[in-house]
Structure 1
């Protein structure tokens, strides 16, 4: 007669318990990973309603009119910038970097702050500089562009007298910003003798909300840029240059590939553009220390119809369609591409990949340390000359009004 080993009998519950614990842990990891991926995917397509602080105000000297910020790669850049703050002022214009330490950066204040005025500690360092077109001291008017989501406001800067009124530049801002981001370019294009139009698009806070209320990462917003093209053509434009910053670059590229008016587009200018969303989202996930499997799930959630409804991104987003490096052979318009290798938000790798794939179309103007969409701020003279030269080399504009 065989006897069971007591040891075997007593170990069985332990084995079952271990298996149960392992299964529970695995389930927890799966559920937790899914929730994290859900949050990440939803964040990508959710319009930004509050600016995230990326620096701190450590002190203000009202007599010297200087401000000291927590040091970061952005706050020590040369040039003019803006600072979103809380308190008496909502926005401060900043001038030259005066002094820096390992922890601080002190800059000249170009917006006067008087003694007793309150400025909150949390702040957002910005490359906008200009907030309203009235600050540019050039002619402009408010216009409205009819799109499928409704009337989208825009700022129109007409060509100067004696200029090339038949050439229009349509300027498209990036994710989480407004058309104010594009104001830096308006005086440059006016000096080149052409008209420019700073547009808004669905869900950006200025234009109407879409049914989903979420970004399409360029897959839906391009329709509002096409509406801007139609507006331009109806008001005297014969040739269009599309210019996009950051996600605005992705929108512009989608417009060039999908519009019914490709023959009206002369060329494209891109500043710190999103050329491939997988590259961008993968980089940002690594910066946030999101595990690779979770990032993979998040990207799948954006692209699958069932999950896209859960994430509330509206229709599923085809990241393949938004990968312009892979689709480089489909491009037909010349591109001036400006990108800094230390971007810190949108890696320049995809931009360089696009330039390598289409050297016949893409003129790459690389920067080394100008960060994300701060190329004008970092070196205004070079940036402005690159844009002006591009217009003239295309046989457009008028140097007589310079």
Structure 2
């Protein structure tokens, strides 16, 4: 189903209809009874239609709020068993599409206070539909006592775990303080190009730490930022995501910080909704002339397509899906969604705006991404092959290409930065 365009308004004609007459009776009692029965049926039908309309509107409000209201995803993955001790742990989990994938992942537990780094599959039991995976490390909490967890692509919860240097910094925004990590490179001669790392919807800046090591190797300083309405920043239930239409303002602040501390230009990294955010920063920001390029991982290139996909996954009828889109993009729905300003979904559609792209882009997007389908990314890469480099990826779930094959992901990023932006890895120091 497509929810991109509004449905045509159906018009109905009203007219007089004859009341059937009984044979030879004219306008007798049987005719009056028929009229009363018909009136009762019409009234019941009108009432049912009103109920259906109310239910449809309520469902549209529910899904519209799910799109823009920040929420923390639940720890709904059952931790069946943990065996072993210290550096030789194995965790048994239900076998799902995510837990069966190759690679290294994070497992959050204990209400987000616990975290373990989960490695390769050790054993799969098709009878019980369970999988055992190696635990590479427990970075916080007691995994033995955990009963429920959350599967994530964030394998690092703090830059100290990456082995690269870091500093805590704060960006001053109109919505308050935005915590960030500055990742200075260990290179003797840092590049004058900085990386600004922008996480996705519902995630935090920990998501972006997967890029830390390759940037350090290349001598590229980085700033892993938070932004308005994300889990680290929001302070009230009134917070609403702008899907990139508002958050880009904070990227400009991060660029200000980089320029004030030695950067001459920046490359913007964006994961998922972070991709939509950096597209806006690159096209609307006051620092756009200092943006040398974009690195996008599982990006939202076109929100219409993403919301179409979510409507299909949730079996949402087309009229309700269209009403949902209207609610997040029209002023009349602000009391229902809580949005201060309606979202401009056309402005967030970079397939339609492809001709406006004016920066080289590395676009990493798995064809097995079911949450944000890769179709719009392929469309953008196809029509702007002069600027967009899109290597083929599959297998990985949403924004987890690094998790499946970190060496390849880092090679693709390094090759792009070296070839397109002329960033060169520093020569090894003598001795």
TM-score (norm 2): 0.88
Residue 145 of structure 1 deviates from its aligned partner by 1.2
- State yes or no: 1:62 paired with 2:110: no
Is the 8 Å Cα contact of residues 199 and 228 (structure 1) preserved in structure 2? yes
From 63, 74, 81, the equivalent of 2:98 is 74
- State yes or no: 1:181 paired with 2:207: yes
Structure 2 vs 1, CA of residues 116 and 195 (structure 1 numbering), >3 Å: closer, same or farther?
Answer: closer
- State yes or no: 1:204 paired with 2:227: no
Structure 2 vs 1, CA of residues 375 and 246 (structure 1 numbering), >3 Å: closer, same or farther?
Answer: same
Tell me the distance in 2 between the aligned counterparts of 1:390 and 1:77.
27
Is the 8 Å Cα contact of residues 196 and 254 (structure 2) preserved in structure 1? yes
Tell me the distance in 1 between the aligned counterparts of 2:391 and 2:53.
44
> 1:385 maps to what in 2?
411
- State yes or no: 1:10 paired with 2:33: yes
* Local SS of the residue matching 1:153: strand
Structure 2 vs 1, CA of residues 115 and 277 (structure 1 numbering), >3 Å: closer, same or farther?
Answer: closer
From 128, 138, 151, the equivalent of 1:125 is 151
Residue 9 of structure 1 deviates from its aligned partner by 3.0
* Local SS of the residue matching 2:344: coil
> 2:307 maps to what in 1?
281
Structure showing greater radius of gyration is: 2
Residue 58 of structure 1 deviates from its aligned partner by 2.3
Tell me the distance in 2 between the aligned counterparts of 1:51 and 1:208.
15
Residue 155 of structure 1 deviates from its aligned partner by 0.3
Q: Deviations over 1:227-257 (max 9, x none)?
A: 1011111111001000000000000111001
From 156, 169, 175, the equivalent of 1:149 is 175
* Local SS of the residue matching 1:194: coil
* Local SS of the residue matching 2:282: helix
Tell me the distance in 2 between the aligned counterparts of 1:115 and 1:361.
47
Q: Deviations over 1:160-215 (max 9, x none)?
A: 23333311000000000100000110111011111011000001122355995211
Tell me the distance in 2 between the aligned counterparts of 1:88 and 1:249.
25
Is the 8 Å Cα contact of residues 164 and 396 (structure 1) preserved in structure 2? no
1:242-321 residue pairs with structure 2 within 5 A? Answer: 242-321=268-347
Tell me the distance in 1 between the aligned counterparts of 2:69 and 2:191.
38
Residue 308 of structure 1 deviates from its aligned partner by 2.7
Tell me the distance in 1 between the aligned counterparts of 2:36 and 2:167.
78
Q: Number of residue pairs matched?
A: 400
- State yes or no: 1:97 paired with 2:121: yes
From 169, 186, 192, the equivalent of 2:195 is 169
> CA RMSD for the aligned pairs?
2.2
Is the 8 Å Cα contact of residues 245 and 373 (structure 1) preserved in structure 2? yes
- State yes or no: 1:361 paired with 2:387: yes
Is the 8 Å Cα contact of residues 94 and 131 (structure 2) preserved in structure 1? yes
Structure 2 vs 1, CA of residues 364 and 139 (structure 1 numbering), >3 Å: closer, same or farther?
Answer: same
Tell me the distance in 2 between the aligned counterparts of 1:182 and 1:252.
14
Q: Which runs of 5+ in 1 are unaligned?
A: none
Residues 204-213 or 251-260, more deviating = 204-213
Q: Deviations over 1:275-321 (max 9, x none)?
A: 11111111112111121111100100111112134211220101001
Is the 8 Å Cα contact of residues 158 and 165 (structure 1) preserved in structure 2? no
Tell me the distance in 1 between the aligned counterparts of 2:383 and 2:107.
38
Residue 391 of structure 1 deviates from its aligned partner by 1.4
> 1:35 maps to what in 2?
58
* Local SS of the residue matching 1:340: coil
> 1:19 maps to what in 2?
42
Tell me the distance in 1 between the aligned counterparts of 2:143 and 2:293.
51
* Local SS of the residue matching 1:332: coil
Q: Which runs of 5+ in 2 are unaligned?
A: 1-23
